[in-house]
Amino acid sequence: DAGITQSPRHKVTETGTPVTLRCHQTENHRYMYWYRQDPGHGLRLIHYSYGVKDTDKGEVSDGYSVSRSKTEDFLLTLESATSSQTSVYFCAISESSGGLEQYFGPGTRLTVT
């Protein structure tokens, strides 16, 4: 357990509404990541952060924004949710010592109706 929690764990929302998912870590890790997992596509990187207020895009960033105002929290916002964003969202961290290994949180299942 890398001390990662995600909230909410499940959410159903309507098309066009904004949604924010939260990732919280307790161990002061520098790097944090947001992935989505869909059948047939595997895990795909949405955005990542390499420090407070330092973020960058991954391969599927359109329609998503992120913020990191504190080391422990990394927020993912769907600005206007669409049905194509129905997915399972995972947060991950990698340790501040520079290790490349990533450890995942429990995930959030999001359904956009």
In the complex, which residues of this chain contact another protein (CB under 8 A)? 31, 33, 40-45, 48-50, 56, 58, 90, 94, 100-107
Smallest gap from Cβ 53 to another protein, in A, equals 14
Nearer to another protein (CB atom), residue 31 or residue 64: 31
Smallest gap from Cβ 49 to another protein, in A, equals 8
Nearer to another protein (CB atom), residue 12 or residue 43: 43
Nearer to another protein (CB atom), residue 57 or residue 77: 57
Distance CA 33, CA 15 (A): 25
Q: Specify whether the CB–CB gap between 72 and 31 falls below 8 A.
A: no
Nearer to another protein (CB atom), residue 47 or residue 81: 47
Distance CA 74, CA 71 (A): 8
Smallest gap from Cβ 76 to another protein, in A, equals 15
Q: In the beta sheet, which residues pair with residue 74?
A: 23
Structure tokens at 65: 């924004």
Distance CA 105, CA 88 (A): 11
